[in-house]
Amino acid sequence: MASQEQYLKPEVIQTIKRLDLRAQFIIKGFMHGLHVSPLHGFSVEFSEHRKYTQGDDPSDIDWLVYAKTEKYYVKKYEAETNLTGYLAVDSSRSMGYTYRQEMTKFDYSICLAAALAYLMIHQQDPVGLVTFDETIKQSLKPQSRRTQLGTILSVLSKLQPTGQTNIAASLMQLAAMLKRQSMIMVFSDLLGDADEILKSLHRLRHSGHDVILFHVLDEAETQFPFQGRVELVNPESDEKIPGNAEALKRGYLEALEEFRNRFRHDCSKTRIDYVELDTSVQFDKALIEYLTRRSGRR
């Protein structure tokens, strides 16, 4: 029988056909990992507690939680316990790429989005969904009912990565739609103009929203494992660049690192969580980022 940790491996999850079961297996592996790791404190009723911070009343410290975790947590007030979340999934054609992994960037993203929806509904947090390519294509208003999970999973399971993308315009459109402060979780390969994408992320952040940006790339896009003569194809424009892999590799990896550094630096300045993922990375990395952000909200 597969170990709990295996439930977090993309190649194992890929063998499960139903998206609802994929989400459940990911969460099962994730929660087991929390219980056996130094992050165990997060698994102790994390929706009802947050870390003690300077300025909190020491009398609010939950000493039972401290006894279990050796960390200071305070009970949240009712106004703090509800978090409205939006899953924003890039469904453009480039997300359908894979080289040698079982999962495409799109498969990986919708599995992660499904797991986060499962986690949020379980914590009775309202969660909504938007899908986009050049514009927002589908939108579900946030709800915390159990039926919302089925609705979100139904939309995600029917999605296909098609068309070109305009991430910046789609996020600007999302910012204009939102009526209350929310946590926006964006899943994209970020193939677009970095300046414009960052501008749209700033718009969300300056409107008071928390933002987690999951930058999902194929494992081959982060490693460039190609050899010999190659023909690189832009998945959305079909533009082709022929060349020698060894000659192209260094310049490509330098350009990728420069691109990522731009997002790391800019997102850090504006308190946007920038999470680098590729399709070989276990799903718990992204879920821990979400949980850490959620636990720290005031």
Domain for residue 49, yes or no? no
Contact 139, 129 (CB under 8 A): yes
pLDDT of residue 67: 67
Percentage, residues of the chain above pLDDT 70:
84
Say how far apart CA 152 and CA 7 lie, in whole Å.
21
Taking 90 as the threshold, does the pLDDT of residue 269 lie above it?
Answer: yes
Taking 90 as the threshold, does the pLDDT of residue 18 lie above it?
Answer: no
pLDDT in tens, 124-150: 889 999 999 999 999 999 999 989 999
pLDDT in tens, 39-84: 344 443 444 666 777 777 776 777 766 766 777 777 665 444 568 9
Domain for residue 255, yes or no? yes
Contacts from 268-273 at CB under 8 Å and sequence distance 24+? 270/201, 270/202, 270/205, 271/205, 272/201, 272/205, 272/211, 272/212, 272/213, 273/210, 273/211, 273/212, 273/213
The pTM of the whole model exceeds 0.85: no
Say how far apart CA 252 and CA 223 lie, in whole Å.
10
Domain for residue 276, yes or no? yes
Domain for residue 1, yes or no? no
The token pair at 138 is 């589908």
- Element counts in the chain: helices (H) and strands (E): 11, 10
Domain that holds residue 106: 82-295
Domain for residue 107, yes or no? yes
**DSSP summary character for residue 15:** T
Taking 70 as the threshold, does the pLDDT of residue 293 lie above it?
Answer: no
In this structure, what CATH number is given to the domain that contains residue 180? Answer: 3.40.50.410
Contact 185, 129 (CB under 8 A): no
Domain for residue 31, yes or no? no
The mean pLDDT value for 224-239 works out to 82
Q: What is the number of domains present in the chain?
A: 1
Domain for residue 68, yes or no? no
> What count of residues does the chain have?
298
pLDDT of residue 154: 93
